[in-house]
A and B are shown apart, each in its own frame.
Chain A
Amino acid sequence: MPSPFTEHFDNLRSLLELEQAKASLILVTSAKRGDGTDLLAHGLAEALASSGQATALVDASGAAVPIASGDRRPRDGSVVPHRRGPAMSMIALAPDESSADVTAFAATLRERFRYAVIDGGALPQNELAAMLAGLADTLILAVRKGRMASREDDVLLSVVDGARRPVLGIVTVEPKAIASFTSRASEFAPSTELVPLRHAVANV
């Protein structure tokens, strides 16, 4: 079932293709948990995949991957096809401290996919996402509308500035959309389990 916000993501895809023609590694991140990076990453990956490009959706948030009982549970970071919607590979990562593995994983993604959309989750609390920020071709920042501004916003900006990577822009996400996506996540993505990054690198 396609995302109910397809139009938004198609526009976002067009903007990405227009602004970042050579971009293949896209990190979607935010300052706080619950800002909707999963919705944004999923919708953007779907939009890119629906255009026929080889696309991977990498869940590096380390926390928000839904696990549905009874589904297939690929181990060792195996890549599974999307259960519904356009064909794309989905990878769920567990946090890993090795920057060498992260670099290798990013290189692998560039080789295998035209686009790899990485859900970095809340960057200030996610070291893996912070490392990926330095490797991504472009960054998209998600902000949940209506939340309080906080110190994490400053931390995010500080990390992004330090990464010296281009920022495509900010995507604001309505709280109702996040809630809707969270309640229907199993319909959008296959059930996965978190795998160590080194396994994911080997299996992609």
Chain B
Amino acid sequence: MIAAVIIAGMAAIYYCRNFVPLTYQAAARVLMVNEERDPSVSTGDLPSVATSSVVLDRVRRQLQLPLSLPALQGGLSTRIVARSNIMTISFNDASADRAIAISNAVADNLARYYHELSTRRYDEDVDALNAAIADQRSRLSQIDDSIRNLQRRDAFVATDNAVDNVTRHIADLENQRAAAVATLTGDAALSQANAPHGALVSSIARHEILQGDANYHSLRDVAARDAAQLAADRAQYAGAYPGLPGEEAKVNSERAMLDAAARKAVTSPDGFSPSAAATANEHSRTLALVAGDRARVAKLDELIAEQTFQLRDIPKTGIAFIELRAARDAVQGEILTLSGRHANALANRAEAASLGTVVVVDRALKADTQLAGGRSRVAIMAGVALILVAFGLAFLVESVDPRLRRAQQIERLYGHPVISNVGNR
């Protein structure tokens, strides 16, 4: 059996020498500075921090490693140099470059995370204070908006003698209204005076239009002549003239034509009466003046009503304004307080950061094989281990062998001493 185990051991040695892959080990060293001043973390905590999932996860993300956290943790080893604040961070890997990169990345992230740990509580304070200050500033902005809206509605609300100012303003508006009403009255009278009288304007306009119409004049001349002829004929023939009915019919026809021409001329769009046009223009102007006056009066009425309303609302608006001002002052005071605390927190954080620091004192530049001698040492160790196992197994087999071989074994079984061994030359 021993021989079999030794042969197996030799085979294992051969396998180790030729087939066991080499691993590389790279090491970086970090130093904890001012440990005695930092009560939160000590050098003894560094290995735990270095192998923490936070640090290793950052390393994995930084290097984009295809390794799980347990695998990363398994390849990592930390050792604190005796009686010093220096810790060695080693990583074993099949790739020398990766062993170097991971060792350095762990050291860097350890230093960074240690700094975070030292200042974490102050970071939390600073963040909370920043949030509180931002909240108060938002409140202040809202209050300012409210005040602006209030002032937009009531310009005098922010003044000390708002009632006097509003009253004076109303009085001024009422004076303006009185003047506007007077102007309106005048303009209305003028407008009424300039208003065209229907029959007169129509007569003048008809006359001026027909005067300018040549066709009407021609027809009127013909009709007048024929009418004169008819009158002469009547006077001459005293009704016995047979041509009278014809002339009368002609005169009637010409009169009808004249009336038709007059109507046509008057209703024609081209018919123009300067007098009627002037009268209409003047009347329109005075009407516009009156409308403007009325609009001004209406606007002044509106302003007066608004100011009157504000005057009645001044007590309520003023209270709201005062409340807003008080709230604004309170918020500003709160912001000042928070700013003071924020400054203190920043100072504390700076002090905490200066208490204890982990710095990388020696970066990994090269990677050695995991064991000096590499495969040979592994093979030798495996061989020695197997030989020891072989001897151990041999003793084990011997100890559990039920055959009676040794004197002590027989004495133990029989309870009597062995006094001789016959045949043992």
Contacts and interface: CB of A to CB of B under 8 A. Distances in A.
Interface string A3-38: 001001101100100000000000000000000100
B422 A8 contact: yes
Contact of A8 (B402, B414, B421): B421
B421 A174 contact: yes
Contacts of A98: none
Could you tell me the dominant secondary structure of chain A's interface residues? Answer: mixed
Among B404, B405, B413, the one with the most A-chain Cβ atoms within 10 Å of its Cβ is B404
A170 B422 contact: no
Contact of A146 (B404, B419, B421): B404
Interface residues of B, number: 19
Given A147-B403, A148-B403, A168 B419 contact: yes
Given A5-B422, A5-B423, A145 B416 contact: no
B424 A171 contact: no
A146 B422 contact: no
B422 A173 contact: yes
A157 interface: yes
A167 interface: yes
B400 to A, nearest CB: 12
Contacts of A11: 420
A148 B419 CA distance: 20
B397 interface: no
A179 B119 CA distance: 90
B407 interface: yes
Given A146-B404, A148-B403, A149-B404, A172 B411 contact: no
Contact of B422 (A40, A141, A147, A167): A40
A147 B410 CA distance: 11
Contacts of A127: none
Contact of B424 (A40, A141, A148, A174): A174
Interface string A130-146: 00000000000101111
B204 to A, nearest CB: 165
A90 interface: no
Nearest to A171: B420
A143 B416 CA distance: 12
Nearest to B415: A157
Contacts of B423: 5, 8, 173-178, 180
A36 to B, nearest CB: 7
A5 B420 CA distance: 11
B413 A36 contact: no
B381 interface: no
A146 B415 contact: no
Interface string A162-204: 0000011111111111101000000000000000000000000
B404 A145 contact: yes
Contacts of B418: 169-172
B417 interface: yes
A39 interface: yes
A188 to B, nearest CB: 14
A77 interface: no
Contacts of B422: 5, 8-9, 36, 39-40, 43, 171-174, 177
B412 to A, nearest CB: 10
B413 A169 contact: no
Contacts of A175: 423
A153 interface: yes
A148 B404 contact: yes
A39 B410 CA distance: 19
Contacts of A174: 421-424
Contact of A169 (B402, B403, B419): B419
Nearest to A7: B425
B421 A141 contact: no
Contacts of A168: 419
Interface string A104-148: 000000000000000000000000000000000000010111111
A151 to B, nearest CB: 12
B419 A170 contact: yes
Interface string B377-389: 0000000000000
Contacts of B420: 8, 11-12, 15, 169, 171-172
Contacts of A36: 422
A143 B410 CA distance: 8
Contacts of A144: 404
Contacts of B403: 146-149
A15 B419 CA distance: 8
A166 B415 CA distance: 13
Contacts of A12: 419-420
B116 to A, nearest CB: 71
Nearest to B421: A172
Please name the 10 residue pairs, one residue from A and one from B, whose CB atoms are nearest each other, closest first: A177-B423, A174-B423, A169-B419, A172-B421, A171-B420, A170-B418, A173-B422, A8-B422, A169-B417, A167-B416
12 contacts: A141-B416, A145-B405, A146-B404, A146-B405, A148-B403, A153-B413, A169-B417, A169-B418, A170-B418, A171-B418, A171-B420, A172-B407
Interface of A: 5, 8-9, 11-12, 15, 36, 39-40, 43, 141, 143-149, 153, 157, 167-178, 180
